[in-house]
């Protein structure tokens, strides 16, 4: 039972983390290679607060706010850059975060923060909290999709210049995507810190940013269910299979490559095409 | 009442002066034809009006406000609508949704308002009406990538109309249409400012199809080499020797 709880908690946190990036990259079309930094900001914020005696459920709110606030700043700084340039700019954010944390004694420096307290009701309590947060975020994402904000994001992801000609204030909508996405990552990070109960600057580096982007790409950029499925599977594979853990980077790299080459719209797109095929077979001839 | 005033606008690209000290006024309810030979700076002036380009000199006043420094989206929200010469449909959305986005553009005036609004059926219904109006209703469910240029030109017009603009800017909406289609589109454009149209809307029509421009526009503005050549009632402009010189070169016959 304990092992299943660990597996499910890992999956839930990964799904929340990937869905938060999906708002920025999938919905709004802004590729970010620095998402792990916001995961880290949430983790550090929540860990410091719970160590000071704040209950985790409460500490997740400032974790979200802190990550979202930095997300707003990064978003404002990168409003003028597009596409590949944005990817490189956001990549810099990860390095800045790791570099900054390493030098801060208050944040544990190179050593990191250990002895992070357990969530209330132990591991089952943490799992429940993670599931609640993830479900809430799924509901938020589903609502965005249905709302006019989702419609505006569609147009920005498609063609920013045309979005402007429709009267859409592209900058402000992008900032909202950044804030919602990075705040979600902050919550995921806060949960992660209390799952592992030890964090260091290297838990939130470039590799983690690429890993979460891989989940979004493999799941199908923009698809809530596809990304959730990919994040769930990819996060527990290293726990299930030792060789996956050993060759994690190689495997993720190959999967991204395969997705880009054979199914650029990821699992979600693949599923749609297969469903369309089956529908064709079923047609009376 | 003056809707749009362009005051002494100059736009240079490197050593080339594309628009040279041009002034132009448009009244509410006016349909103004805008013609000139290739390279006259028509599209450049259009881009200055919409805010794609910012002129080095002069200013643009729209509905009494100096909008020279405003970004495009703000000018659109203030009441401009643009159908571009080079079509830019949203390729991932079908024609209905391309237009529905414009119909509901007021819902996206702020991200928060947009987040609080769901439901698109009213906007989609209106979008289908507009697609019917420009004559491409049968392609309402098609994706832009599946359609020929003539359809996409009309999609641009439908999308601009969907914004319900006070000032509709049309950059060669008849290009790519055959004679009958061009005539129908010109009639549609004329009806937008006619007596039965909702009051106060103005149209600036850039077009190479001078026959249709002369047929529907009561007044024409002519630009040549980035400069204002002449402006006046259509019959006068069409009869003027300057117009012939601009198009044919040399002395008028």
Count helices and strands in chain A by DSSP H and E runs? 13, 2
Q: In this predicted structure, which of A65-69, A134-138, B118-122 has the lowest mean pLDDT?
A: B118-122
Higher pLDDT, A225 or B253: A225
Which residue among A151, A175, A176 places its CB closest to the CB of B101?
Answer: A151
Contact A149 B118 (CB under 8 A): no
Share of chain A above pLDDT 70, in %: 99
Which residue among B50, B90, B117 places its CB closest to the CB of A147?
Answer: B117
Query: What is the rounded average pLDDT of the residues B82-88?
Result: 90
Residues from chain B that touch A148, judged by Cβ atoms under 8 A, are: 104, 107-108, 113-115, 117-118, 120
Contact B49, B80 (CB under 8 A): yes
Say yes or no to pLDDT of B247 above 90: no
pLDDT, tens digit, 9 for 90 and up, residues B117-133: 999 999 999 999 999 99
In the A/B pair of chains, how many CB contacts fall below 8 A? 97
Share of chain B above pLDDT 70, in %: 96
Which residue among B50, B72, B107 places its CB closest to the CB of A148?
Answer: B107
Contact A159 B90 (CB under 8 A): yes
Interchain CB contact of B111 with A (< 8 Å): yes
Task: Let me know if B250 is exposed, middle or buried by CB neighbors in 10 A (0-12, 13-18, 19+).
Answer: exposed
| Confidence bin at A284 (pLDDT 50/70/90) | low
pTM, 2 dp: 0.90
Contact B84 A176 (CB under 8 A): no
Residues from chain A that touch B161, judged by Cβ atoms under 8 A, are: none
Interchain CB contact of B91 with A (< 8 Å): yes
Buried b (16+ CB within 10 A) or exposed e, A52-64: eebebeebbbbbb
Buried b (16+ CB within 10 A) or exposed e, B138-160: ebbeebbeebeebbbbbbbbbbb
Q: How many CB atoms lie within 10 A of CB B178?
A: 10
Task: List the beta bridge partners of residue B118.
Answer: A147
Task: Pick from A147, A148, A164 the residue to mutate for testing the B interface (most B CBs within 10 Å).
Answer: A148
Radius of gyration from C-alpha coordinates of chain A? 19
Say yes or no to pLDDT of A266 above 60: yes
Contact A141, A23 (CB under 8 A): yes
Q: How many CA atoms lie within 13 A of B16 on its CB side?
A: 8
Higher pLDDT, A263 or B19: B19
Q: In the prediction, which pLDDT does B253 show?
A: 42
Q: How many CB atoms lie within 10 A of CB A253?
A: 13
Q: In the prediction, which pLDDT does B198 show?
A: 62
pLDDT, tens digit, 9 for 90 and up, residues B216-241: 999 999 999 889 999 999 999 999 98
Residues of A with CB under 8 A from a CB of B: 143-144, 146-149, 151-152, 154-155, 157-159, 161-170, 172-173, 175-176
Say yes or no to pLDDT of B252 above 50: no
| Confidence bin at B140 (pLDDT 50/70/90) | very high
Higher pLDDT, A179 or A77: A179
Higher pLDDT, B155 or A237: B155
Which residue among B82, B114, B117 places its CB closest to the CB of A165?
Answer: B82
Q: Calculate the average pLDDT of chain B.
A: 91
Share of chain A above pLDDT 90, in %: 63
A161 to chain B: closest CA residue: B88
| Confidence bin at B89 (pLDDT 50/70/90) | very high
Which residue among A155, A170, A173 places its CB closest to the CB of B101?
Answer: A155
Give whole-number Cα distances, A192 to A41, A118, A240, in Å.
Answer: 11, 11, 19
Q: In the prediction, which pLDDT does B196 show?
A: 60
Q: Which residue has the tokens 């400032």?
A: A62
Interchain CB contact of B121 with A (< 8 Å): no
Task: List the beta bridge partners of residue B25.
Answer: B5
Say yes or no to pLDDT of B195 above 70: no
Q: How far apart, in whole angstroms, are the C-alpha atoms of residue A149 and residue A94?
A: 28
Contact A167 B117 (CB under 8 A): no
| Confidence bin at A281 (pLDDT 50/70/90) | confident
| Domains of chain A from N-terminus onward | 2-282 (1.10.3470)
Interchain CB contact of B72 with A (< 8 Å): yes
| Confidence bin at A207 (pLDDT 50/70/90) | confident
A193: nearest Cα among A33, A100, A66, A31: A66
Residues from chain A that touch B116, judged by Cβ atoms under 8 A, are: 147
Which residues make Cβ contacts (< 8 Å) with residue A101, sequence separation at least 6? A40, A44, A107, A108, A109, A201, A204
Which residues make Cβ contacts (< 8 Å) with residue A70, sequence separation at least 6? A37, A38, A41, A182
Indicate the angle between helix axes A224-240 and A206-219, nearest 10 degrees.
Answer: 130
| Confidence bin at B199 (pLDDT 50/70/90) | low
DSSP code of residue A24:
I
Q: In the prediction, which pLDDT does B250 show?
A: 58
Residues from chain A that touch B74, judged by Cβ atoms under 8 A, are: 169
pLDDT, tens digit, 9 for 90 and up, residues B30-55: 999 999 988 889 999 999 999 999 99
Say yes or no to pLDDT of A285 above 60: no
Say yes or no to pLDDT of B102 above 80: yes
B51 to chain A: closest CA residue: A165
């Amino acid at each position: 039972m304990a092992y299943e709880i660990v597996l499910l908690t890992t999956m839930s946190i990964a799904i929340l983390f990937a869905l938060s990036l999906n708002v920025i990259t999938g919905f709004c079309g802004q590729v970010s290679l620095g998402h792990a930094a916001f995961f880290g900001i949430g983790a550090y914020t929540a860990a410091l607060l719970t160590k000071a005696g704040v209950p985790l459920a409460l500490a997740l709110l400032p974790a979200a706010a802190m990550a979202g606030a930095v997300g707003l700043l990064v978003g404002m700084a990168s409003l003028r850059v597009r596409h590949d340039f944005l990817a490189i700019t956001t990549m810099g954010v990860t390095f800045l975060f790791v570099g900054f944390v390493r030098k801060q004694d208050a944040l544990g420096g190179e050593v990191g923060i250990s002895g992070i307290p357990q969530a209330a009701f132990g591991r089952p309590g943490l799992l429940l909290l993670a599931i609640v947060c993830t479900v809430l975020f799924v509901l938020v994402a589903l609502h965005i999709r249905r709302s006019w904000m989702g419609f505006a994001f569609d147009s920005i992801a498609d063609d920013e210049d045309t979005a402007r000609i429709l009267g859409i204030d592209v900058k402000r909508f992008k900032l909202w995507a950044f804030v919602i996405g990075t705040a979600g990552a902050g919550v995921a990070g806060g949960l992660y810190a209390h799952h592992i109960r030890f964090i260091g600057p290297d838990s939130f580096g470039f590799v983690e940013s690429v890993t979460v982007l891989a989940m979004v790409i493999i799941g199908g950029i923009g698809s809530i269910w596809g990304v959730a499925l990919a994040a769930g599977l990819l996060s527990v594979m290293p726990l299930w299979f030792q060789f996956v853990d050993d060759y994690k980077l190689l495997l993720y790299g190959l999967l991204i490559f395969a997705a880009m080459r054979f199914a650029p719209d990821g699992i979600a797109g693949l599923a749609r095409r297969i469903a369309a095929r089956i529908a064709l077979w079923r047609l009376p001839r | 009442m003056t809707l749009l005033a362009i005051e002494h606008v100059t736009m240079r690209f490197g050593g080339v002066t594309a628009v040279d000290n041009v002034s132009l006024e448009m009244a509410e309810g006016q349909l103004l034809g805008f013609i000139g030979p290739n390279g006259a700076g028509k599209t450049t002036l259009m881009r200055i009006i919409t805010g794609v380009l910012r002129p080095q000199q002069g200013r643009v006043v729209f509905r009494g406000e100096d909008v020279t420094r405003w970004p495009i989206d703000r000018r659109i929200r203030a009441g401009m609508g643009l159908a571009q010469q080079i079509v830019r449909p949203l390729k991932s959305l079908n024609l209905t949704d391309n237009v529905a986005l414009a119909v509901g553009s007021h819902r996206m005036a702020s991200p928060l308002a947009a987040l609080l609004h769901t439901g698109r059926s009213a906007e989609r219904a209106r979008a289908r009406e507009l697609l019917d109006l420009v004559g491409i209703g049968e392609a309402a469910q098609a994706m832009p990538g599946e359609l020929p240029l003539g359809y996409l030109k009309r999609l641009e017009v439908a999308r601009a109309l969907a914004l319900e603009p006070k000032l509709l800017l049309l950059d060669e909406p008849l290009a790519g249409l055959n004679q009958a289609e061009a005539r129908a589109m010109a009639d549609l454009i004329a009806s937008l400012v006619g007596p039965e149209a909702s009051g106060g809307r103005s149209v600036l029509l850039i077009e190479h199809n001078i026959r249709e421009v002369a047929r529907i526009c009561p007044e024409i503005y002519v630009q040549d080499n980035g400069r204002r050549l002449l402006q006046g009632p259509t019959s006068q402009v069409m009869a003027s020797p300057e117009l012939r010189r601009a198009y044919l070169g040399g002395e008028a016959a």
